[in-house]
Each structure stands twice: as C-alpha cells, then as structure tokens.
Amino acid sequence: MVATPKIVIDRLSIQYDDGTESLRDVSIEILANEVTVLFGPAGGGKSTLLRALNRLTDLVPRTHITGRILLDGEDVLADGVDVVRLRRRVGMVFAQPIPLPMSVRQNVIYGLELAGEKRKSRLDEAMEQGLRAAALWDEVKDRLHDPASALSGGQQQRLCLARVLALEPEVILLDEPTSGLDPISTGKVEASLQDLKQAYTVVIVPHSIQQAARIADRAAFFLQGELIEYASGKTIFTAPKDKRTEDYVTGRFG
C-alpha cells in the first residue's frame, strides 16, 4: 500500500517583490511519520518553502506565489483559509529560540491560553506533554516557575519546541533549530525528532549536511530555487543520482 502524503507541494513557484525567484516549479510529496529534510546551499529557497507551508510568506508584501500546497488534500494557499487554524496545525520552530519574558510554564501554555483554554488541569497536562515530547521535562520539572531566560540556549530551543508541541500540531516545521547549540544539546534535539515522528509530520532545514544525513528519512536538495533531487535519505547521502547532489554531499561543491 502506498501511504497518502500528508502534504503535496504541486508546481510551487515563489517570487519576491524585487523579482527574486526563490522557488521555481517545485513539486514534492511529504509523508506523515517521517522526517523530511530540505537542504542545500544558502539562498536555495529552503526557508521560503518552509514558510509557505504555514503561510508565513503572507507576511512579506507582494510575494507572488503560484502552484498548490495541499494539506490532507486541501489547498492551504487558497483564499478563505483560516490562517490561525492552519498555523496551529502546522507549527514552526525557528533557528533563534525566543522565549517570552515569563516563566518556563507560562511559555509552554501561552498559545493554549490565547486560544481560550482556562482549565488548569488541561494546561498542566499539555505543558507536561509538550516538555516531555521536546525532551526537556526532566531538566526543568523543578524549575517550572523560573524565568525562561534562566535556561541554557539548548534548553530554550527545546522550550520553543515544547511551546509548539503543546498546541498539538499535525506538522512541525523546523528551520535550523540547532544552529546555535552545542553538540550535546543538538543530540538531544535530534533524538527528540526521532520520537516526534511517531506522532507528527516533521519537515526540517538542518544546519549541516552531517545533520541532514543523520536525521533524514527523505531529503530534498535545493539549488538556487530549483529542486534538484528528492529521495530517501539513504539514496541521497550514499548514492545520489544527480551530479550536483553528489558534489554537494561529498563536499566538492563550489
């Protein structure tokens, strides 16, 4: 049986106002319960694609988008889509963790409170679940009322992940989430991704080729807005079909 893709990207092109064509005719199918990696050199369009998936691209005026992005068969780019609901279903974690100036606990439950949840038992449950899923619970369970700013950089990054997870999204987008982290914290975030894919669809721009190779179930290689190759992580990193992918993954690029 062929799995139904969670996300279908169909002939997507994105052009910014200044004429920069950051994605050109990209088509990819993304499966649930896998880690899908978007990688390639700077300026290739990876962040643009990630941001399009939950319509953060709306925030850049006069961006011209053509093509379709289907989430469970529905076009997220269509007029009339409830963008708030979409961003709850498709959560984003950024490179720089930016905790809110409040306690660890408050940071995790903030989104749920904004969404109107008032029951303390429900908030506590979601907080613990989010922190556990982000592999942070054991480190902060006795510090829930400390300011989030007192956590280490690696803990703050996992706190931002927990904040997204507490909203119970279906898809998690991560843009270089470990770029500022030491190897141990990086290892913890990578390990938590392996757990997360049991329940979610994970799409990530890794911070290095080595990380891409470690975590990818499937990987897409981008060069200057073009999708060069999309295949299983094993194929891309050990037997790529395109010469340009091979040059890049073997470090012969440039």
Q: Which residues bind ligand ATP (CB under 6 A)?
A: 16, 18, 20, 22, 42-48, 60
- In the complex, the smallest distance separating the C-beta of residue 41 from ligand ATP, rounded to whole angstroms, is 7
- In the complex, the smallest distance separating the C-beta of residue 205 from ligand ATP, rounded to whole angstroms, is 6
Give the pairing of strands 74-75 and 64-71.
antiparallel
Distance CA 7, CA 113 (A): 28
Between 169 and 206, whose beta carbon lies closer to Mg ion? 206
Instruction: With CB under 5 A as the rule, give the number of residues binding Mg ion.
Output: 1
- Going by C-alpha positions, the residue among 104, 56, 98, 96 that lies closest to residue 177 is 96
- In the complex, the smallest distance separating the C-beta of residue 166 from Mg ion, rounded to whole angstroms, is 25
Distance CA 140, CA 159 (A): 10
The contact mask relative to Mg ion for 10-49 (x = CB under 5 A, - = no) is -------------------------------------x--
CA 187, distance to chain mean position in Å, is 17
- Going by C-alpha positions, the residue among 181, 140, 141 that lies closest to residue 157 is 181
Does position 107 interact with Mg ion (CB under 5 A)? The reply is no
Between 42 and 98, whose beta carbon lies closer to ligand ATP? 42
Q: DSSP state, 29?
A: E
State both tokens at 26.
């990209």
- In the complex, the smallest distance separating the C-beta of residue 42 from ligand ATP, rounded to whole angstroms, is 3
Contacts with Mg ion by CB under 5 A lie at 47
